Amino acid sequence: MIGTSLLPWRRPRLNVIILHGIIAPRPGMLNADSARPLIEKAFASAGRRPVILDIESPGGSPVQSELIAGMIRSHAERTGVRVHAVIREMGASGGYWLACAGDEIHASPMSIVGSIGVVGGGFGFPGLLHRFGIERRIYTAGRNKVRLDPFSPEKPEDVAFVKDLMEKLHVRFKDWVRSRRGARLKADDDTLFDGGFMLGEQALELGLIDGFSTVDDLVRQLGGDRARPRRIAPKRSRLLGRLPRLTLDALLDALEDRSWRITLR
């Protein structure tokens, strides 16, 4: 059998994990379940070459963001493989959380980066049922079981409770960024952590990214001029077949308590 070292025409390949889309636990979205096989495949076949994260995401679920980033770091530390993240158009909120799983972060000067904050909210319809003569009957055990119910008037104590949760999530987000970026951060104040987003040019000045590059340019920089990317992406689902289910889920989300969510967006 001819060894690969005797095949000079073979191009080196660098594994690129495609992490695109809104981060959410729903099937078909970017989440721990959809990302796990991509991460495992990329690190299993990386050898000694770096792994690249191709990120295009406005964020989403804080839990899924943490799970995906945790898997990436676990594999990287176990295999000793270095990780580079590349932000395309957007790596904001949960998308930036994922980028911080990289040992280095690259972007375009015009990429949207940062948005290190937490948002939560929904809709309230306390007068809607009365207007149409609808009587709602709901029974609970536990006085806070229907907290933030969209068909009940908003309570100050519920708002205070949620803001406390969001503040704690924000602290975890900030700690994660500090732990991954360390001394590269040029500031450690509201300029970085006020929830605002910025262009890649400003992100470089503040230490949120390490430089400007595209996936293809980075592949050649890391692997040589002959190197090519091996893109590892989730299998495409048949969207048309899923549209009725997606529409139903969206309607239920709007009407039930799941419509009130806290996200990194």
CATH number at residue 90: 3.90.226.10
Look at 259 and 228; give whichever has higher pLDDT. Answer: 228
Give me 243's structure tokens: 């549209």
Residue 6 pLDDT grade (very low, low, confident, very high; cuts 50, 70, 90): very low
- The whole-number pLDDT of residue 161 equals 77
Q: Indicate the angle between helix axes 156-181 and 62-79, nearest 10 degrees.
A: 20
pLDDT tens for 154-202 read 778 878 877 888 889 899 999 999 999 999 999 777 778 988 999 999 9
Look at 3 and 31; give whichever has higher pLDDT. Answer: 31
Task: Count CB-CB contacts under 10 A for residue 263.
Answer: 21
- The whole-number pLDDT of residue 15 equals 97
Nearest to 122 by CA among 95, 162, 63, 169: 162
- The whole-number pLDDT of residue 212 equals 98
> Does pLDDT of 18 surpass 90?
yes
Residue 4 pLDDT grade (very low, low, confident, very high; cuts 50, 70, 90): very low
CA distances from 71 to 29, 87, 99, 100 (A): 17, 19, 13, 12
Contacts of 53 (CB under 8 A, 6+ apart): 16, 17, 19, 72, 83, 84, 85, 86, 98, 99, 101, 102
pLDDT tens for 66-96 read 999 999 999 999 999 999 999 999 999 999 9
- The whole-number pLDDT of residue 246 equals 53
**Residue 2 belongs to some domain of the structure:** no
Q: Indicate the angle between helix axes 32-44 and 62-79, nearest 10 degrees.
A: 10
> Does pLDDT of 122 surpass 80?
no
**Residue 165 belongs to some domain of the structure:** yes
**Residue 116 belongs to some domain of the structure:** yes
Q: Find the helix or strand (DSSP H, E) in which 166 lies.
A: helix 156-181
Domain range for residue 239?
9-263
Residue ranges of alpha helices (H) inside 5-141 are: 32-44, 62-79, 94-99, 128-131
Mean pLDDT, residues 142-159 taken together: 76
Residue 132 pLDDT grade (very low, low, confident, very high; cuts 50, 70, 90): confident
Chain length of the chain = 265
Q: What rounded mean pLDDT belongs to the chain?
A: 85
Give me 9's structure tokens: 């025409």
φ/ψ bin of 169: left (φ > 0), alpha (ψ from -120 to 50), beta (otherwise): alpha
Q: Which of 38-47, 74-83, 129-138, 215-224 has the lowest mean pLDDT?
A: 129-138
- In angstroms, rounded to a whole number, what is the distance separating the alpha carbons of residues 118 and 93? 8
**Residue 4 belongs to some domain of the structure:** no
Give me 249's structure tokens: 């889920």
**Given the DSSP bridges, would you call strands 261-263 and 119-121 parallel, antiparallel or unpaired?**
antiparallel
**Residue 3 belongs to some domain of the structure:** no
**Residue 49 belongs to some domain of the structure:** yes
Give me 198's structure tokens: 């910025």
**Given the DSSP bridges, would you call strands 197-199 and 112-114 parallel, antiparallel or unpaired?**
antiparallel
> Does pLDDT of 245 surpass 70?
no
**Residue 236 belongs to some domain of the structure:** yes
- The whole-number pLDDT of residue 125 equals 72
**Residue 212 belongs to some domain of the structure:** yes
Structural domain tally of the chain? Answer: 1
Mean pLDDT, residues 234-240 taken together: 65
